[in-house]
Structure 1
Amino acid sequence: MRRGVCVAVGAALLMVSGCSGKGTTEPPKSAPSATTTVTVPTAPPTAAAAVLGPTGPSTAKPCSGTNIPVGTDPQPIIDAAPQGTTFCFAKGVHRLTRPIQPRSNDTLAGNTGAVLSGSVRLTGWKREGSGWTVQGALPAAYPLKGQCEDNKAKPCQLGEQVFQDGNHLTRVMSLSQLRPGTFFGDYQANAIYLSDDPTGHVIEMAKTQTAIDKSADNVTVTGLTIQQFASRPQAGALQAGRGWKVTANDVRWNHAVGIMVIEGDDTVVSRNTVADNGQLGIGQYKSAGVKITANLVTRNNTDGFWIADWESGGIKSTRSSGEVSGNDIIANRGIGMWSDIAEYDRRITGNRIRDNAADGIRYEISYSAVIDQNVVEHNGFGTGRGSGGTLWDGGGINVNTSADVQVRGNLIKDNRNALSIQSRTRGDGPRGTYVLRNVLVEGNLIVMSDAASSLGVVENKRSPTQPGAITFRRNSYQGADHFAYRGKTMTWSEWQQSGFDQDSVSS
């Protein structure tokens, strides 16, 4: 153990008083002070050994209700039935040309193998030069938005993705860039170009923007595969409203957000597989008391949105509250779990957040949160444009200019940086000025195998950290000897001398 702590033999107990700087017990004095016994972690949280189990349509109950056959427009069938009806989509691919609008208390469910698709098949290909082309499939020009990793060509802003035999092709922005595995959409000429010969292959293009719209409250969506919708940036292929239950679906290969909860108080999103969406897996906006639990959220941001700082990756929530728990948030090309702008009463607990390109968890310009019992491992190694390896660029967990935040009982292991606490000048929010205040980092097991990895507090000149704003205590560190505070890089002993982690251990 490092100097500056006293550890009881055979247990992770720290005697906070009664320890000298040399780690030996001082002789008793005439008026002995009280001794406080503090437990520090010796093992990872239970989430480290937990297994998510199956997700997606295989976990849905069999559907019994009004049948919707393949090849029919579902909306007239829905409109003709009373509210509160269960609709069962038949096995096969249902190609939607407009969003489904359920009514209050309706259930949209899938029989085994039911797929809602927003794509159209492209046929009539002709050879042109060294490639192949088809005319007339692209929509008229529309307003573009979104921040892309490539901020010059901006390929992420266009939603009409192309698939060959179900495999996602990469968009290029000029005919001269065309290579095997790519496509070029010329919107002025209304032409799509491929390098690969489409003969004998199924070529599809995402066209319809939304599968299911938030047209009513208390809707259930279950047992469906929802894929290949040309959702616009920040919009979802599945848009859920108030009191919805979105469970046991496979939401994949949609251009922007897979599942988006909008003004959807008390909605539950559970047991879904949300994978390979172009921008973000799950989004939440202006929604109180939402539960996002036991989902597999993986490999999202396939269409080149900005990795470091624009709503790409696993889950992002804004101006909302609720619980994100028990999810596997794995290998997303962006932030794993991001709460940003006026979040409140947020609980992020028991998740396994691994191998995401940017921060594992980011809590930014928000209020009152508990971030506990998560496994946050090997995040932050894939950031690109505008990002580097400093604490300003984040860490396994990043608390940015937020108040009343508890970070406790997590395993934070081998991230690019372990823990970044940031104080910036960010203006006012609905619950007061955004400020770094009352942040508690307690009882975490923090492993830093990379000598370049750091942990600590960074601040800008106009927003210095106020005394007592941050408390580190009862943490257990392994391999940590690179800390930062007040613009200085510190060793473990210097970190403790600055007032942090007085009752923590480091080895």
Structure 2
Amino acid sequence: MPIRGVGPRRARALLVVASLGALVAVGCSTDETGLPTGPAPQTTAPAAGAGELGRAEYPVPGGARVVSPSGDNAAAGTLQAPWRTLAHAVAQSPARSTVVLREGTYRESVQVYRKALTIQPYPGERVVLSGSDVVGGWTPDAGDFVRRGWTPSFPRTPDAASSAVTPQAPLAGFPELAFVDGVPQRQVGSRAEVVPGTFFVDDGADAVYLGVDPAGRRVELSARAWGLYLTGAHDSVVGGIGVRHFATPSSDIAALRAYADRVQLERLVVEDNAQSGISVIGTDTQVRSSTLYRNGQLGIHGLHADGLRVTQNVINGNNAERFDMGYQSGGLKVVKSRRLRFDGNIVRDNIGHGLWVDQSSYDVVMSNNTAQRNAAAGLHLEVSARGVLAGNVSTDNGETGILIVESHGVDVWNNTALYNRWRDLDILDNDRTSSNLAAAEHDRRWPLPNPEITWDVRDISVRNNVIGGGARNLPVFRVDDVTHVRSYADMGVTSDYNAFYRRDPSVGWLTLFSQEQGVLVAETLGEHRQVNRQDQNSATVDGPVNPWVTDARAGDFRVPPGAPNRLGAALPARVAEALRRSAGERMPIGPLQAPR
């Protein structure tokens, strides 16, 4: 409901019986530069992402099986006499073998079934596993171009059949893909809609229509649904290759599926696939130093992925097909999993949340990540328990910097959440209850109801963060129960040693904290301290320059020497572990690592 009679200068710790969830914020600029003074020496983060394909230098072990696009499956599978296809090599290689791929594009789908294999490129060679074929035979047709006799067909999910597909993007569930000189073309729903930069697949007529003249250009159409499927292939390793152009339907989830334990995925470039890039179901899998780019729904999907470690990846531009952001889309979403560790990732420009953990997950650490310009929240923890969010930078996101919903036992320490369109830090309780045993959010591998995961906000500590600078007419920091039953004190939310920044204090509140009869809105830190009895050692600055940022344009969000209230609270053990520090150590507030 709207708030009436409350101007920015009259908010003075006013009790408001309403939630601000329905308010709409306007956008904000993102050109803050901070102070020019340099930071004290700090840990420098290693580079993230796979880099350019063809630069991996994996050693070739003795006895490796070798594959080349110019090889022969009747050959010996050696360096001198390579096989031709990866599928043949996988079928012929015994467990614990290494399969080495020579340079080229492998247009095939490959399953590794119940044996451990290592799949890698030859040193210095560029290898791509592709779901598309190069297609010729185009003819002019009423101003466009048609390829007849195109028979690959894939299951489609129209918007009426899936809550993940919206009327705004009704073809998101149509997995067909087309590329002209490597550039994705946009799929349209009828022949009449075809214009340059688009394509239409007439499944019934086995025809594809293209809006640009293909003469002298490389046209690729997706001909396979998925690329690599590790089924029970425990202890397998896949590294240094590209996986792209797979027309993955919703039933297959991802182009690369690691459905096994202790799988290592590294230095991969997984891009331009119709659904998720990578899907993980299994224990103790690692996804590291890889690039997940422009996949149709998610960069990384996880279910029952206990012990999953996602480290030093670049996860950018995913949900390219614009599935519903509130369902399952964006950079990464992992559900019903335990012992999750996401560290050192760069997560930008995803259409949805950046990093999202949901549905009764337990023991979650998000540390030292950079989440920027994602369309929803940068970091999101939902109906889960025992979490650490530490050392992250979450800025310029389309909704919230850090969003915690119906979760408990969470430490939010040493993050910078700035310039986000809605709120910078949002802790929200709602009406879901774990006593509802029919709810889909339960992890049914455990007895229900699970006393470890109660689906309520409880015992959350907020320390050593730099927060603010974002929305107009919305609080920088919110703690709210939308059912208006529990106060912030009932929820056990405590906050101190933080830095609050606002460009213009006349157009926004500082905090909103839930009370038993509504919410308390505080305009100043003094009011917040008085009415909420929190942040006694915190500081606030209003104005054009944020003193708690070294150089935002350069991506350096460490707090510079000389900033007010720079020294934070002593680190508890699990926060210290996430930040690679010692328990009890007092460090500067905000993130501690230099930008990558």
Asked if 2 retains the 8 angstrom alpha-carbon contact of 1:415 and 1:453, the reply is: no
Change (3 A) 1:476 1:46: farther
**Letter matched to residue 446 of structure 1:** I
CA distance in 2, matches of 1:43, 1:351: 21
Asked if 2 retains the 8 angstrom alpha-carbon contact of 1:126 and 1:133, the reply is: yes
Alignment of 1:26-425 (within 5 A): 50=45, 52=47, 55-56=50-51, 57=53, 60-64=56-60, 65-70=64-69, 72-96=84-108, 98-101=109-112, 103-111=114-122, 112-140=125-153, 142=155, 144=157, 146-147=162-163, 150-151=166-167, 154-215=170-231, 216-233=233-250, 235-240=253-258, 241-262=260-281, 264-307=282-325, 309-321=326-338, 322-380=340-398, 395-416=400-421, 417-425=423-431
**Letter matched to residue 93 of structure 1:** T
Shift of 1:147: 4.6
Asked if 2 retains the 8 angstrom alpha-carbon contact of 1:444 and 1:474, the reply is: yes
SS at match of 2:200: strand
Asked if 2 retains the 8 angstrom alpha-carbon contact of 1:63 and 1:109, the reply is: no
**Structure 2: 5+ residue runs without aligned partners?**
1-36, 71-83, 435-441, 444-449, 542-596
CA distance in 2, matches of 1:376, 1:210: 33
Asked if 1 retains the 8 angstrom alpha-carbon contact of 2:156 and 2:175, the reply is: no
Alpha-carbon deviations, 1:26-56, whole Å to 9, x = none?
Answer: xxxxxxxxxxxxxxxx999999964525624
Shift of 1:183: 1.0
CA distance in 2, matches of 1:467, 1:413: 25
CA distance in 1, matches of 2:146, 2:42: 50
CA distance in 1, matches of 2:369, 2:43: 9
Change (3 A) 1:182 1:445: same
**Letter matched to residue 248 of structure 1:** R
Asked if 1 retains the 8 angstrom alpha-carbon contact of 2:48 and 2:344, the reply is: no
SS at match of 1:75: helix
SS at match of 2:192: helix
State the partner residue of 2:497.
474
Question: How many residue pairs are counted as aligned between the two chains?
Answer: 450
Shift of 1:317: 0.8
TM-score, normalised to structure 1's length?
A: 0.83
State the partner residue of 1:439.
460
Alpha-carbon deviations, 1:423-482, whole Å to 9, x = none?
Answer: 111232453431111111111111315544522023222753463421122211112743
State the partner residue of 1:15.
none
**Letter matched to residue 117 of structure 1:** S
CA distance in 1, matches of 2:522, 2:187: 46
State the partner residue of 1:38.
none
Asked if 2 retains the 8 angstrom alpha-carbon contact of 1:423 and 1:463, the reply is: no
State the partner residue of 2:523.
491
**Letter matched to residue 119 of structure 2:** L
CA distance in 1, matches of 2:473, 2:209: 45
CA distance in 1, matches of 2:39, 2:300: 27
Shift of 1:168: 0.5
Shift of 1:62: 2.9
**Letter matched to residue 55 of structure 1:** A
CA distance in 2, matches of 1:346, 1:153: 32
Larger relative contact order (Cα-Cα within 8 Å, sequence gap ≥ 6): 2
| Residue 448 (1) aligns with residue 469 (2) | yes
- Worse-superposed segment, 213-222 or 432-441: 432-441
Change (3 A) 1:181 1:48: farther
SS at match of 2:89: helix
TM-score, normalised to structure 2's length?
A: 0.71
Asked if 2 retains the 8 angstrom alpha-carbon contact of 1:318 and 1:342, the reply is: yes
SS at match of 2:205: coil
CA distance in 2, matches of 1:51, 1:358: 27
- Worse-superposed segment, 181-190 or 140-149: 140-149
Asked if 2 retains the 8 angstrom alpha-carbon contact of 1:45 and 1:411, the reply is: no
**Structure 1: 5+ residue runs without aligned partners?**
1-41, 381-393
